[in-house]
Amino acid sequence: MRVSIYDHHHEDNDKAVDANNKFEMISGSSDAPSGNKAITTKSSSTGGKNNKEGDHNKKKHKYAFQTRSQVDILDDGYRWRKYGQKTVKNSKFPRSYYRCTHKGCNVKKQIQRLSKDEEVVMTTYEGIHTHSIDKSSDDFDNILRQMQTYTAF
DNA sequence: CGTATTTGACCTGCGC
DNA sequence: GCGCAGGTCAAATACG
């Protein structure tokens, strides 16, 4: 469903994002890495090889943005695979959980529409992409790419 | 047929 | 210890 904001027939602005969008950085302090599988009978074998990078003590890359858009799907040029959708108690709109479909790219994205302003969607990124963007010639992508450099410190 | 999306089940942490 | 809230996975389905 690779539909992008520009792909969608918006009615207001040419670009879904206007100068009114603001982004704020959220430093992830507490984290709940429930790497444990949900259903039992899974981690029976001695699969201790799954011990990849365990810098649990390092700062978590978490960036949140608030974008004024009519659509929830903010395509930043990467490929996202939705893996969950839950309703939050503070919002009357469900929250969508996305994950980068790239190999080794465990970047997570979280999209939630604010109940206060249904036209504002909060996008929360977690992690850093280990691959380059394939897309181009995208106004939105441009903005998002700059944003990445901003937070890539 | 392969990949992405949907939806329900299930797990973890926190509060009481 | 149980319930609530939030988060994730996995099987089935839809779509190209």
Any strand B atom closer than 7 Å to A1 CB: yes
Q: Is the CB of A80 under 7 A from strand B?
A: yes
Cβ of residue A3 near strand B, that is under 7 Å? no
Q: How far is the CA of A81 from the C1' of C3 (A)?
A: 31
Note the CA–C1' distance, A3 to C16, in angstroms: 14
Residues A92-136 have pLDDT tens digits of 888 999 999 887 788 898 888 887 777 778 888 888 777 766 665
> Around Cβ A19, how many Cβ atoms within 10 Å?
8
Q: Is the pTM of this model over 0.75?
A: no
